Amino acid sequence: MDENDIRIKKLGGGSLLIAWQLRDKNVLIVGGGEVASQRIESILTADAHITVLSPQKGLHPRTQRFIELRKDRITYYDRPYSGPEELDSMDMVLTALDDNELSRSIVELSRERRIPVNAADIPDLCDFYFGAQIRDGPLQIMISTNGNGPRMASIIKTRLQKGLSGLEGEAIIKVGQLRNKLKEREPGVGGQIGRDRMKWMSGLCNQWEMEDFTLLDEAMMEKVLDEGWEQDGRVPKVEEIGIRTSRKSTSGSFGQPSNYNVFKRVENASSIAIAPTTFAFVAGAAVASLVLIRFLKR
């Protein structure tokens, strides 16, 4: 049994970390305290519609502020949870209560209706957990302890943040725009063209610096495609595009020559050069700042 076999044998004990799409879904939050305010913020990020049930006297100031400022997404009822009918038309249920028995009852009713549910501070009742999050535009990083130590997740979050430059969100936005432009030039889903696009974008992300992407404008993006994709899939140097940065080296993130061709656009698929398919940053152990972004492939 080799090391990979041993790793496979040890798999288990964690959670499936996914980016759950909640846009325009209905989420019920029972409770209005500090934890409820945290849940509201997390759900607002996902563009869901939120219903909050809590007596006015139980509202945390932050919860109150969310309700006042986000009437477009939050419907508030000044009353406690009243019964199973509250779950009608809900796609997710969250409880943030001091009453564990009531939380347990809501969880059971939710599961009977096959509604995903989370009960704050009662891990064994949760279908999923909320973790500490870092967000910068489209970049979202979640740190989960699987319900074992929320404070530890917060500490790790702080360490990770110290390893980020602050350019990641803007760089990802620009990469996404460039990717869309490429798909307009070479439309199609899957197949060889999809693999070609992915390899070229991955090569670009691996060789350019974060700052380079943040400086791209519309004209530069077109030039990247003209000088790169349209030229047998080469990765152009940033100087060719008109980008001027303060960095000392332009040899590429992984040391490949900047005129390296990610692939030759020929009929034989075996001639395509293999390139990494991840857009990643590796940070030192001192700050434990590993960021792995796998958003180039849908």
Return all residues near 143 (Cβ < 8 A) that are at least 6 apart: 131, 132, 133, 134, 153, 156, 157, 160
Tell me: do 178 and 157 sit in the same domain: no
Tell me: do 61 and 152 sit in the same domain: no
Tell me: do 34 and 66 sit in the same domain: yes
How many structural domains are present in the chain? 3
pLDDT digits 0-9 by tens, 192-237? 999 999 999 999 999 999 999 999 999 999 999 999 999 999 999 9
How large is the average pLDDT for residues 260-285? 38
Query: Per the domain annotation, does 285 fall within a domain?
Result: no
Q: Confidence class of residue 152 from pLDDT cuts 50, 70 and 90?
A: very high
Please say which residue of 223, 241, 259 terminates a domain. Answer: 241
Kindly give the interhelix angle for 168-185 and 191-207, rounded to the nearest 10 degrees. Answer: 150
Tell me: do 102 and 73 sit in the same domain: yes
Tell me: do 32 and 91 sit in the same domain: yes
Tell me: do 150 and 235 sit in the same domain: no
Tell me: do 189 and 208 sit in the same domain: yes
pLDDT of residue 131: 87
Query: Per the domain annotation, does 293 fall within a domain?
Result: no
Expressed as residue numbers, the domain containing 200 is: 167-241
Q: Which residue from 165, 215, 178 is spatially nearest to 296, judged by alpha carbons?
A: 178
Query: Per the domain annotation, does 9 fall within a domain?
Result: no
Query: Per the domain annotation, does 228 fall within a domain?
Result: yes
Q: Confidence class of residue 272 from pLDDT cuts 50, 70 and 90?
A: very low
Pairing between strand 139-143 and 132-136?
Answer: antiparallel
Tell me: do 109 and 42 sit in the same domain: yes
Query: Per the domain annotation, does 273 fall within a domain?
Result: no
Tell me: do 158 and 172 sit in the same domain: no
Query: Per the domain annotation, does 180 fall within a domain?
Result: yes
User: Residue 77 belongs to a domain with what CATH number?
Assistant: 3.40.50.720
* Cβ-contact 81, 102 below 8 angstroms: yes
| Mean pLDDT, the chain, integer | 85
Tell me: do 39 and 109 sit in the same domain: yes
- What is the spatial distance between Cα 9 and Cα 136, in angstroms, rounded to a whole number? 36
Query: Per the domain annotation, does 67 fall within a domain?
Result: yes
* Cβ-contact 142, 133 below 8 angstroms: yes
Q: Confidence class of residue 287 from pLDDT cuts 50, 70 and 90?
A: very low
Tell me: do 189 and 149 sit in the same domain: no
Query: Per the domain annotation, does 125 fall within a domain?
Result: yes
pLDDT of residue 275: 34
Residue 270 has pLDDT above 70, yes or no: no
How does 88-126 read in b/e, with b if 16+ C-beta sit within 10 Å? Answer: eebebbbbbbeeeebbeebbebbeeeebbbbbbeeeebb
Tell me: do 99 and 141 sit in the same domain: no
Q: State whether residue 51 is helix, strand or coil.
A: strand
pLDDT of residue 246: 65
For the chain, give the percent of residues with pLDDT over 90: 75
Catalytic residue numbers read 121
